[in-house]
Amino acid sequence: MGTVITVTSGKGGVGKTTSSAALGAALAQTGDSVALVDFDVGLRNLDLVLGAERRVVYDFVNVIQGQAKLSQALIRDKRIDTLHLLAASQTRDKDALTEEGVEAVVNALRKTFDWVICDSPAGIERGALLAMRHADMAIVVTNPEVSSVRDSDRIIGLLDARTIKAENGESMEKHVLITRYDPARAARGDMLAIDDVLEILSLPLIGIVPESPSVLKASNLGLPVVLADPSSDSARAYADAAKRIKGESIEMAVPSVKKSLFGGLFRRAA
């Protein structure tokens, strides 16, 4: 029986899809089988981030409506053969996802894969609720700024109330993944400090991903950052987070400002 992880945040644009792809790829690189499921029906992106957009034949909605078998709709990644994608439908909306359909698909994936990663849409509506409904574990993606943290807090409340685990009286394993962390801005106090974020959310931290051009570049190339630029800080942060998801204990690296000879010169010139 695999583990179902929902990657969620409430707010849009914080890095759910990027993180889903990167964590999925990092888990798959360890040899585990991974299914990435895009719940953002109508606004699908995960196929682009994985560079699979030209290979989508059948999607999640086709499977739910019985027009395709799950095995036909799953797209195997060309670079990591343990990584699979179930794309969302771009021509439909969230109403196409039925509760029973989602349950059947997630439970079928759980039987075959070690990890089922549900990439949640933004918001607290149907799509987001269905993406968390069957999860065993939640990764709450947060940027270190007040609106993102508040929205994450709201989502955590929903994770504790609207999931199968919560309804059965069990508690769900929940972790915070801080993304787009800018050490320079944090040092200037323009961003919430990591400790403040964790104090507000009162959840354990699973990783800090620095804001980095390599993440953007990787997305545009259709490559998860752990494949595009494995030596970058962001790729390492995701790889470490994936190991922590698997239960390994790894020291948390807090990104810091890189001191260079030129950095000081530029600042003086500006």
Shortest gap between Cβ of 130 and other proteins (angstroms)?
18
In the complex with other proteins, which residue's Cβ is closer, 151 or 211? 151
Shortest gap between Cβ of 156 and other proteins (angstroms)?
5
Based on the shown chain and the rule CB under 8 A, indicate whether residue 162 belongs to the binding site for other proteins. no
d(CA 269, CA 141): 37
Based on the shown chain and the rule CB under 8 A, indicate whether residue 228 belongs to the binding site for other proteins. no
Environment class of residue 177 by beta-carbon count within 10 Å: exposed (0-12), middle (13-18) or buried (19+)? buried
d(CA 202, CA 120): 21
Tokens representing residue 47 in the block: 């196929």
Based on the shown chain and the rule CB under 8 A, indicate whether residue 108 belongs to the binding site for other proteins. no
13 is in an annotated binding site: yes
DSSP secondary structure string for all residues of 102-165? HHHHHHHHHHH-SEEEEEPPSSSSHHHHHHHHT-SEEEEEE-SSHHHHHHHHHHHHHHTTSSHH
Based on the shown chain and the rule CB under 8 A, indicate whether residue 217 belongs to the binding site for other proteins. no
**Among 151, 211, 233, 240, interactor with other proteins by CB under 8 A:** 151
Total number of residues binding other proteins (CB under 8 A)?
Answer: 13
Based on the shown chain and the rule CB under 8 A, indicate whether residue 154 belongs to the binding site for other proteins. yes
Detail the residues annotated as belonging to a binding site for ATP.
Answer: 11-18
Contact residues toward other proteins (CB under 8 A) are 124, 146, 150-151, 153-154, 156-158, 160, 199-200, 202
